[in-house]
Structures are given as structure tokens and as C-alpha cells.
Homo-oligomer: A and B are copies of this chain.
Amino acid sequence: MKINVVESVLKANDAVARENRRRMDAAGVLAINIMSAPGSGKTALLEKTIPALKPEQLCAVLVGDLQTTRDAERLEGNAASITQINTGRGCHLSATQVAEGLDSLDLKGIDFLFIENVGNMVCPAAVDLGEHLRAVLLSVPEGDDKVAKYPTLFQPASVILLTKVDLLGLLDYERDKVYEDVSRVNTSAPLIELSPKTGQGMDRWLAWLQEQRRQRAIEQNAS
């Protein structure tokens, strides 16, 4: 009973997700679902990414949080548009919440839509929001064992970002373990080491984003 209901909820979600993707494709927007544990640096990454893409590329952001508008406030001023979605007790964003978020945006002229999911390494992984790509963050202080412990998050990642690498020398951390665990669950996603604080690795992340847009444009022209 429980499983059937959960499955039908996910099916309904997936239909909305497909419609979200169609809307964004029609507007030429590339949507990236950003997922990680709480405090891995999703907002810090966007604080540095959005200004770096300007003025060539315009970004919009949907931010999911249980409570508060703190992340949205941190991002104000740089993105073309920011919409905060409070999920209450909800442990992830849903496609319907993203659809409502899209209603609040003027998608014209937007190149990237960043969807900052609720900080959670489990539940968001199962829920399609209509994104094109998934960026999964893992911060150094969380420990070098997290890829093996949360494979369902890392398996479908389009890119894996190892954040807060400026702390590597200060912590007992075996970076090789992370690469080894990633190679077991996901052989296609690049792993980018970065620190929005020092700027390390940001060029590689920005180049990856640009490359995804280029590929997307080629695919859309071909179809």
C-alpha cells in the first residue's frame, strides 16, 4: 500500500518534471539541480558562479529550504531573478514546486537556471525536478567516506564538486578514497576540486558549465 502510493506520487512528479523541462527547453534555459548535504557550500558556490558568468550569461535561481530566506538574501543582486521556496517539513524540492517557481520567473534571456535543492544527501536524489543536469557537492570537512555511504546521490550526478579544498591540509582526509569510491559508482561525471573562497578550481567549473551549454545548443539545433 505504502509503496504503491509513493510510486504514484513519484509518477505524478515525473509528469510535471517533463513539462518543466519542456518549458525550459522552449526558452533555451539550461537547468542544473544542485544537491548536497547541509553546509557543503551550495550557496557559496552560486555567490561566486553567477557574477563570473556575467555579462555574457544571465542566471536565475530557485532556492529550496525548510525555513528562512537566508540563501536567497545571500544571492540577491547578482542573479536576474531569485525565488525562495520554503518546503516546511519537506525534505526535498518537488517538480510542482519548481513549476510554481518557473511561473514566477521571466525565462526570456535566462541562460542558466540553478535549482538549489534542500540540504539532504538522500531524498532529493530520487526526485526529478525537470533539470537537465545534476551538480552534486561534497565538502572536505564532511569526510572522505560519503560517496560510498550515499551512492544514490552520486550515481546520477553529471558533475561532482569536491568543495572547501582549502581545508585539505588541516584535516585527516584521504582524497584518493573519494576518487576510488567515485570510480565505483559514476564513471562519467568529472570530479572538480574547488574552493569558492580561494577561487581554486572555479575556472574548471565555469568551463564545464559553458561546455554543457554549447553541447545543449548543438543538440537542440539537431533536433
Residues of A within 8 A of B (CB): 1-2, 5, 9, 37-39, 65-68, 70, 89-91, 118-123, 126, 139, 141-143, 145-146, 148-152, 164, 167, 170
Contacts and interface: CB of A to CB of B under 8 A. Distances in A.
A67 B37 contact: no
7 contacts: A37-B142, A66-B152, A68-B148, A70-B149, A91-B123, A118-B122, A122-B123
A117 to B, nearest CB: 11
Given A66-B151, A68-B145, 4 more contacts: A39-B139, A70-B145, A141-B141, A141-B164
Q: Sorted from nearest, which 9 A-B pairs have the closest CB atoms?
A: A39-B142, A141-B141, A91-B122, A37-B38, A39-B143, A5-B5, A37-B37, A91-B123, A68-B148
Contacts of A67: 148-151
Contacts of A66: 122, 149-152
A126 to B, nearest CB: 7
Number of copies: 2
A143 B152 CA distance: 25
Contact of A37 (B1, B119, B126): B119
Nearest to A89: B152
A68 B37 CA distance: 18
Given A119-B121, A121-B120, A141-B167, A38 B150 contact: yes
Contacts of A139: 39, 141
Nearest to A197: B172
Contact of A146 (B2, B38, B142, B145): B38
Given A167-B141, A170-B167, A121 B70 contact: no
Contact of A39 (B68, B120, B141): B141
A142 B139 CA distance: 9
A174 to B, nearest CB: 13
Contact of A89 (B2, B89, B122): B122
Nearest to A4: B5
